[in-house]
Amino acid sequence: MSWDQNAHPNFAVPPMPSAPPPAPADPWRAFAVGFLNLSGLGLGYAVVRRWRLTIACLVATGILLAVALPADPDGVPGALLVLYLILLVAAAAHGARLGLRTRLAWLPSALVAAALSVVLLAVPAGGYLLYDQARDEATEQMLLDRLAAADELVKSTGTQTFDVAQPDYRRALAIYHGLAADHPTSRAAAEVPNRLRTYYTTVGAAYAKKNYCGAVAPLKYLRTVPHTMDKKALGSLSTWPDDRLATSLYECGTESMSGDSAAWTAQWGELLTTFPKSEQAQKVGPAIDTKVGEAVTAVGGSDPCAAVERLGTLSTQIRGVSGEGAGLTEALDQAADRADRNAASGTYNCGVDQYKDGSFSDAVTTMDTFIKDNPDSPKRSLARKVAIAAEVAQTVPAAGKRLPTTRSGGSISVTVKNDSPDKITVMFTGPVTGSFTLKACGSCSTYSALSSSLGLDSKPCSDSGKKYPQKTIQLPAGTTYFVHKSQGGTANTPASDTAKLEPGYIYTECAYTTSLGY
């Protein structure tokens, strides 16, 4: 049997379709494709064979990973993350639209694909958790690096003085404070209390070395740390510097006082003000009493003038220290008064020492001060004699070879006449010392020292026609030195005489004044 094509002239073979016909709409399939795209791997596009879109999703995710890894504390830039999320949502929506009428490849059913899409959401979720953990660890490492940097700042101070090291100390403290305050749950913050203990011992190292004066400034600085650091982080360190600072102020003040420095007044004043009830503050009164006692004892030693000066300085310094808070006001006042009294009475010893050393001008000034300041002293009479002898010795140095005594009178009469137009003070020293005043001789005149040396003037007290003011005194045998000093101001130079007195004679001494001209 044969087929006759001519018998059916209108028959034609239909053409093959260019693409599979759309599948019936399936919401589960749309859901599956959309959720598969939320994985960020473009799996939804893959199951509907949209390879270019699959690659685009992979590229976007790759860019995100390249930026995000390795994890750092700052994380992914917010703009990039927002853009990526927009792309994911767009891919999910677009995938859902494609999956609604597009058959799936490789998966047996839309329900299986939907279940798989939900399971695969664990991929980005798990990745996010892992990344968040990595970022937290990166943050911890960053904070630990900050902690190490602060530790290095403290360690690097080495042998630096506190003034030089203080900026580094402040920077390190700022880091410790930032870690404790801003990241309290971090591993670095947990180490801050231990680091602060090291910090305190490093800053206060001078105290451990018994460099008390050098320890004052750093310990005062450490007392300010609780103003910036949480007291919980500091713990017992909050009061760590207090006793050490009190000890340093006391010991440094002791060193200053021993070295005759005035710095002790400020150091002990600060101690009494800052730690008035401390054990160290209670030592201040006895220490001052001891120092005053040492100076009082030194008045009778080899350098009484220095001791007197020291007592006067101590009195002034003690009165500059406020002991009110420590209850030492009365004790300090008593110590200052004691120093004043002994400085005044010790002036006598100073004047005697100056006299013995040949400092006659100083001895006069010192003894005059003693006489003025000690009206009731039993040494006042002898001090006046030392002052007279010192003044005589300024003109006749030989007169100062022996210290005057309280001896007076004698068996030899000496009459002193005043041949001067000025009122004359006659001072004498030798076996006895004294002075008296003769009124001016109205008809007398000043002698020229130059004329006298040339023999042009008559001898003093030689005019029998004049009635010279005079006085007779009794002196013992021996050498007596006389100085006649004008009280009127017309004479330039005191006159002097040395008399060797012997028993059985009556002596006449002439007081007169001379000038340098004719």
Q: Do 311 and 343 touch, CB atoms closer than 8 A?
A: yes
Q: What is the pLDDT of residue 427?
A: 94
Express each pLDDT in 229-250 by its tens digit. 888 888 899 999 999 999 999 9
Q: Do 409 and 500 touch, CB atoms closer than 8 A?
A: no
Q: What is the pLDDT of residue 217?
A: 95
Strand pairing of 434-438 and 447-448? unpaired
Express each pLDDT in 282-295 by its tens digit. 999 999 999 999 99
Structure tokens at 262: 């005035």
Q: What is the pLDDT of residue 446?
A: 78
* pLDDT over 70 (residue 172): yes
Name the least confident of 158-172, 186-200, 271-285, 480-494.
480-494
Name the least confident of 51-55, 98-102, 196-200, 241-245.
98-102
Per-residue confidence at 447, pLDDT binned at 50, 70, 90? confident
Q: Judge if the upstream peptide bond of residue 9 is cis by omega within 30 degrees of 0.
A: no
Cα separation, 23 vs 109, in Å, equals 13
Express each pLDDT in 392-420 by its tens digit. 999 999 999 999 999 998 999 999 999 88
Helix orientation angle between 304-319 and 284-298, rounded to the nearest 10 degrees: 160
CA angle 300, 301, 303 (to 5 degrees): 110
Q: Check residues 387 and 160 and name the one with the higher pLDDT.
A: 387
Structure tokens at 455: 């023999």
Q: What is the pLDDT of residue 90?
A: 72
Calculate mean pLDDT across residues 475-497: 81
Cα separation, 310 vs 287, in Å, equals 15
Express each pLDDT in 30-69 by its tens digit. 666 666 767 666 666 767 777 887 777 778 777 766 766 6
Overall pTM > 0.85: no
Calculate mean pLDDT across residues 445-453: 66
* pLDDT over 50 (residue 456): no
